[in-house]
């Protein structure tokens, strides 16, 4: 199959960017002809803000470029990931004009919420969900604290809703979880066009889980529940080590906690390979998010190494982690409950052994490259209106 992948890389590399790279490599490894139209949002740092805002709504340059690529390579599928702000939905129309099917993976909630997180003022916020124009998000400057940037997102989503873009210009949407799909339907996306395909991970080795430490790996920001994690360690009266890998606006908070508590080891930014190694050695991965996580890639990476996960009973995470089987769920923002779950796992070798086995089994069954590839092919078949291909892919 001939496939064009379109993505704007974020100024700070995150899980979405890694997923795009992994998916491109997966398709190429299965013999598909993949053309990449990738842009880097670092380019907007010195750009004219009004020009960037206008381009986020309708980018004529991206429209022309996608049409040119389609004319040269004739892809059957144009698969979009992040289109903000250098591509815009105009590129959907370019692909359709060249008779290509359009697939859009939704890694966040931006079509329903200006900041894409449903999170504001350190709590979940659904004020814009279901509105024709998300004015609360504009007034609160929810996107990067900027009135202009928030208004740009709001105009983009609302204008294209009026144009029928979300309804007609995309053949298939890929959501990462059932939870996310339901929110997107409430936001007005056609449920009949949304399929679920989670993230996946390669596995180069099964972890040993013998490091005797808990791991947090991710962005250090309020919505990720870092403060809950640190508060839980204050409540722990046992010598249980915590390793924190990542960076973000709460880096100083973590640095101070590490300076005051010898059990906390703060690594700062580490590479993807290092995170996988840490996940393989950790007793457990902790994901204490306070926001609606769609599908944290790091959880799949932990499962691929056989590492159980302790996470918030929130958002899509209960779909991924089965409480008492391959991990433990705790009440969001409840540091005492998190501390109790940590003590339970570290204090029960038999439970850890059972959970490691279950985590590996779930990874192979649901999140390994081959199973994910079949789900992706089914989504492409749906976009191309190829029922036989969909049925064959789902049967394999």
Mean pLDDT in runs of 10 for the chain (396 residues)?
A: 96 85 97 97 74 92 98 98 95 98 97 95 95 96 93 96 97 98 96 96 81 96 97 97 97 98 97 91 98 93 96 96 98 98 98 97 94 96 73 42
Whether residues 337 and 382 share a domain: the answer is no
Same domain, 177 and 243: no
Assigned domain for 359 exists: yes
The confidence score (pLDDT) of residue 142 equals: 96
CATH number of the domain that residue 244 is part of = 3.40.50.2000
Let me know whether 385 and 329 are in one domain.
no
Residues 382 and 237 in one domain: no
For residues 99 and 233, membership in a common domain is answered with no
Interacting residues of 177 by C-beta distance below 8 A, sequence separation 6+: 196, 198, 294, 295, 315, 316, 319, 320
Bridge partners for 139 per DSSP: none
Q: Which residue do the tokens 């449920």 mark?
A: 191
Residues 10 and 141 in one domain: yes
- Whether 169 and 242 map to the same domain: the answer is no
**What phi and psi values does residue 142 have, to the nearest 5 degrees?**
-70, -25
Range of the domain at 194: 2-201+369-395
C-alpha gyration radius of the chain: 21
Residues 101 and 158 in one domain: yes
Residues 244, 174: Cα–Cα separation, whole Å: 31
26 and 139 part of one domain: yes
The 10 Å Cβ neighbour count of residue 97 is 13
Position 206 in a domain: no
How many distinct structural domains can be found in the chain? 2
| In-domain check, residue 252 | yes
Asked whether residue 164 falls in the same domain as residue 272, the answer is no
Predicted pLDDT of residue 173: 98
Residue 208 lies in a domain: no
- 375 with 296, same domain: the answer is no
- Confidence at residue 341, expressed as pLDDT on a 0 to 100 scale: 99
From 41, 8, 39, 50, select the one nearest 151 (Cα to Cα): 50
In a domain, 207, yes or no: no
Same-domain check for residues 222 and 328? yes
């Amino acid at each position: 199959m001939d496939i064009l992948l379109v993505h704007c890389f974020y100024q700070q590399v995150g899980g979405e960017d890694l997923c795009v790279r992994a998916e491109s490599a997966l398709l190429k490894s299965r013999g598909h002809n993949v053309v990449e139209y990738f842009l880097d949002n670092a380019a907007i740092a010195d750009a004219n803000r009004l020009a960037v805002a206008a381009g986020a709504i309708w980018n004529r340059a991206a429209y022309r470029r996608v049409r040119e690529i389609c004319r040269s390579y004739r892809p059957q599928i144009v698969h979009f990931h992040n289109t903000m702000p250098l591509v815009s939905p105009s590129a959907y129309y370019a692909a359709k004009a060249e008779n290509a099917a359009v697939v859009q993976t939704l890694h966040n909630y931006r079509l329903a919420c200006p900041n894409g997180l449903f999170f504001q003022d350190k709590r979940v916020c659904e004020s814009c969900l279901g509105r024709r124009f998300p004015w609360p998000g504009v007034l609160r400057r929810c996107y990067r604290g900027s009135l202009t940037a928030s208004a740009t997102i709001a105009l983009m989503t609302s204008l294209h809703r009026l144009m029928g873009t979300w309804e007609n210009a995309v053949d298939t949407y890929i959501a990462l979880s059932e939870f996310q799909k339901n929110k997107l339907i409430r936001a007005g996306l056609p449920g009949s066009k949304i399929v679920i395909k989670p993230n996946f991970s390669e596995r180069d080795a099964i972890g040993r889980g013998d490091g005797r430490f808990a791991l947090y790996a991710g962005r250090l920001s309020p919505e990720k529940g870092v403060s809950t994690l640190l508060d839980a360690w204050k409540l722990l009266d046992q010598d249980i080590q915590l390793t924190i890998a990542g960076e973000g606006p709460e880096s100083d908070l973590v640095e101070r906690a590490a300076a005051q508590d010898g059990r906390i080891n703060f690594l700062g930014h580490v590479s993807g390979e290092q995170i996988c190694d840490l996940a393989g050695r950790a007793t457990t991965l902790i994901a204490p998010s306070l926001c609606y996580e769609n599908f944290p890639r790091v959880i799949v990476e932990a499962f691929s190494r056989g590492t159980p996960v302790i996470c918030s009973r929130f958002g899509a995470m209960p779909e991924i982690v089965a409480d008492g089987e391959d991990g433990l769920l705790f009440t969001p923002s409840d540091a005492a409950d998190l501390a109790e779950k940590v003590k339970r796992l570290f204090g029960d070798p038999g439970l850890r052994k059972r959970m490691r086995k279950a985590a590996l089994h779930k990874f192979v069954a649901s999140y390994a490259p081959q199973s994910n590839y079949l789900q992706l092919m089914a989504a492409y078949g749906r976009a191309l209106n190829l029922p036989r291909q969909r049925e064959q892919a789902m049967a394999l």
